[in-house]
Amino acid sequence: MPDPTLNELTAALATRVGEAGVLEAADVRALVSAPRWGSRLADLAQLVAGDDERLGYLAGGHRPEEVARCLLGWLETPLTLSQIQQIIECGGWDPDPFTALAEAGLLDRVLRGPDGNARRIRGELAGGWVSDNLALADGSEIVARALAVVDDEAGPGGQDHSSAPRSSEADTSLD
């Protein structure tokens, strides 16, 4: 089954807009669970539209075109559902930079600390930091900058304190 177009998904989502002019997460999940949309899109909607707060964060709002753009952005990546779930759990919102990290085998290293907890980079969840700082970079730059900051977070001697919140520092070398 071919992926829906942005216009098709936006139009379908527009039929579910509530009185306030926005979509609720439950309505998004219900709509895309229909067989017409395909199982991957339905599975993505479960992740992206898990609740209203998550949907608003990941889509940048609750309007049909915002939600459609978000869902299709994740749908078009080669990332697995478990990788997408990990990215979202670690604060990631833009799928673009994570494909390069996954292809380089670095997704876990960048998103999780050695203890398995979500990594923090400069006090921010690693997924959010990657989305904020690397979304417009090319693949090799994404990998190089992510590795540099993870290694920097490990500090001298390689001891990694990445999952512990850090105080604000005036380090802008990678920003």
Task: State pLDDT tens for residues 150-162.
Answer: 888 766 555 454 4
Mean pLDDT is lowest, of 14-23, 94-103, 148-157, for 148-157
- 7: β partners: none
Q: Check pLDDT > 60 for residue 169.
A: no
pTM above 0.85, yes or no: no
Contact 6, 68 (CB under 8 A): yes
Stronger pLDDT, 152 or 163, i.e. the higher one? 152
Mean pLDDT, to the nearest integer, of 93-117? 95
- Mean pLDDT, the chain, rounded, equals 86
C-alpha 45/C-alpha 30 separation (Å) is 9
Q: Give the residue extent of every domain in the chain.
A: 6-75, 81-158
Encode pLDDT of 38-86 as tens digits: 888 889 999 999 999 999 999 999 999 999 999 999 999 999 999 999 9
Contact 134, 97 (CB under 8 A): yes
The pLDDT of residue 165 is 41
Non-local (6+) Cβ contacts of 29 within 8 A are 42, 45, 46, 49
